[in-house]
Amino acid sequence: MAELTLLEKEHVQLELDKLNEAVAKTSDFGEKLELKDKIHNMTMILNGVKPYGSINYFCEGCGS
C-alpha cells in the first residue's frame, strides 16, 4: 500500500473532523452508526491499516 501524502492526510483528517461533528449533532441512532462506520474506515486509512481507495468496503477482518 502506498503511504498517504501530507496533503492526503490533511484531507482525511478534515473529513474525520466533519464526521465527528456530525456524530455530536445527531440524535438518530442509525445515522450515528453510519457515521461511526465511516470514521472507523477513514481512521484505518489515515493509520495505513486499510488500502487507500477502499473506504466503501465493509470491514470484515476486524469485525467492526
Whole-number average pLDDT of the chain:
82
Q: Which residues contact 33 (CB under 8 A, 6 or more apart)?
A: none
Task: Identify the residue with better confidence: 27 or 64.
Answer: 27
What grid cell was written down for 6?
A: 501530507
> Residues 23-41: what's their mean pLDDT?
94
Return the pLDDT at 51. Answer: 54
Alpha-carbon dihedral 15, 51, 49, 1, rounded to 10 degrees:
-120
pTM above 0.85, yes or no: no
Mean pLDDT of 48-63: 57
User: Is the pLDDT at 53 greater than 90, yes or no?
Assistant: no
Q: Please name the residue ranges forming H helices in 1-64.
A: 6-25, 29-46
Q: Are 16 and 39 in contact (CB under 8 A)?
A: yes
**If you average pLDDT over residues 20-39, what whole number do you get?**
96
